[in-house]
Amino acid sequence: MEPVYILGGGRTDFKRNLKKEGKSLRHLIIEAGQAALKDAKIDPKEIQAAAVGNFNGGQFTKQLHLGAFIPEIDPALHGIPTMHTEAACASGSLSVLLGAQWVMGGFHDAVLVVGAEQQKTMSSRDGSDVLGAAADFDIERPEYGDFMFPKLFGRIAQIYIEKYGASEQELAWVAYKNYAHARLNPMAQMRDADLTFDCASQVSEKNPSVAPPLKVSDCSQITDGGAAVVLVSGKYMDRMGLDRSKYPTMLGFGSTTDYLALEKKDAPIFTTASKAAEKAFAMTSGLTPKDMHGVEVHDCFSITEICAYEILGLAERGKGAELAISGATALPQVRNEKVGGSIPWEIPVNTGGGLIGDGHPVGATGVRQVFDAYQQLTEQANERQIEGCKRFLTFNMGGSLTTSVAMIWGRS
């Protein structure tokens, strides 16, 4: 297969409210795409195809056919083939994977991938029903009612606690850690929020219960945002005289799809999701989870990050909560503020704040994760930089761990 490199990337500020700005999903796609092309220093005429990741623009904004916005990024993109991918919260990573496979297969040498979502267009109750389309709506909406997804993941947390004896303190550590990381990220939605560990640990007027044991701080954000990356082949790198060693390359990937309804899955183990990670590592030259220097996981809720530790092999089954509270997944400057236990090994996770702290513009999240990998691997992450970062793992999922995408990136 032709190797795939990340030539550049870009994103929008996730704290913005596009409706208040008088802007739309169109503007997110254009802004993120232009930022990626500029960062990659690529002539737009070199881009041969584009993919757009978006979950539910049709209901959030009444707009679909999103590939048609690609030519508005630059007139040189007019006429190229485009495709829109949708798999709930994994929509963005599927676009990255689609673009990467175009390059791997030799179909295209330079591809633009954009993820975007505008969610601040309606009330939280109505927005919750739109998000409910990522679940088995006909079956699970009558069972769980309004605000279905917090309740679905509250149920996952209950199952995890019943099975492994974890505590709400360990869930709170994930939220505290990701808010602390967000303060280091100038583009994060919650960069100005100051969540203390005590506040994250207790139900209060400021931090009410949403779906026990989950509190507001355990939940990801409603976000408007876009992200984009430029993927190119090794042949393109050589033709342009670029040093391959200076750019991140895809080392492995895996994608799986489980049943849609939560009751049909083996929560909290999620064997099908684990197979995505197993496939990704199987493509590498013997790399293991402990060879990773940084990880981006899908923390739509705090319990999801803990499950992801185990799904990806960062922790043994039932030990994900212990890994969280140890402080091992926090950046040193955050971990030193409040260490929860002995550190088995260091593996910073969600250094930009994750979905809880950075924000969760659903269709953009998977692309944003890959952009974070690019920034870390090229030493452009500034205050949140992982020292000596050479190998990076991203894990994006949609629904209640229904669609799972794992990708391993590295730089020599």
Q: Please, what are the domains in the chain?
A: 4-122+223-246 (3.40.47.10)
Provide the β-strand partners of residue 341: none
pLDDT in tens, 289-322: 999 999 999 999 999 999 999 999 999 999 999 9
pLDDT of residue 350: 98
Q: Provide the sign of the torsion angle of the four alpha carbons 126, 142, 301, 355, taken in this order.
A: negative
* pLDDT of 338: 60
pLDDT, tens only, 319-364: 999 999 999 999 998 886 665 556 778 999 999 999 999 999 999 9
Reference 174, options 222, 209, 219, 221; nearest CA is 219
Q: Is the backbone peptide bond immediately before 150 cis, with ω within 30 degrees of 0?
A: no
pLDDT of residue 158: 97
Give the pLDDT of residue 340.
Answer: 53
The low-confidence residues of the chain, meaning pLDDT below 70, are: 336-342
Checking 371-375 for CB contacts under 8 A at 24+ apart, the result is 371/9, 371/10, 371/11, 371/227, 371/228, 371/229, 372/296, 373/6, 373/248, 373/294, 373/296, 373/407, 373/409, 374/6, 374/8, 374/9, 374/229, 374/248, 374/409, 375/9
The alpha helices in 222-266, defined as continuous H runs, are: 234-239
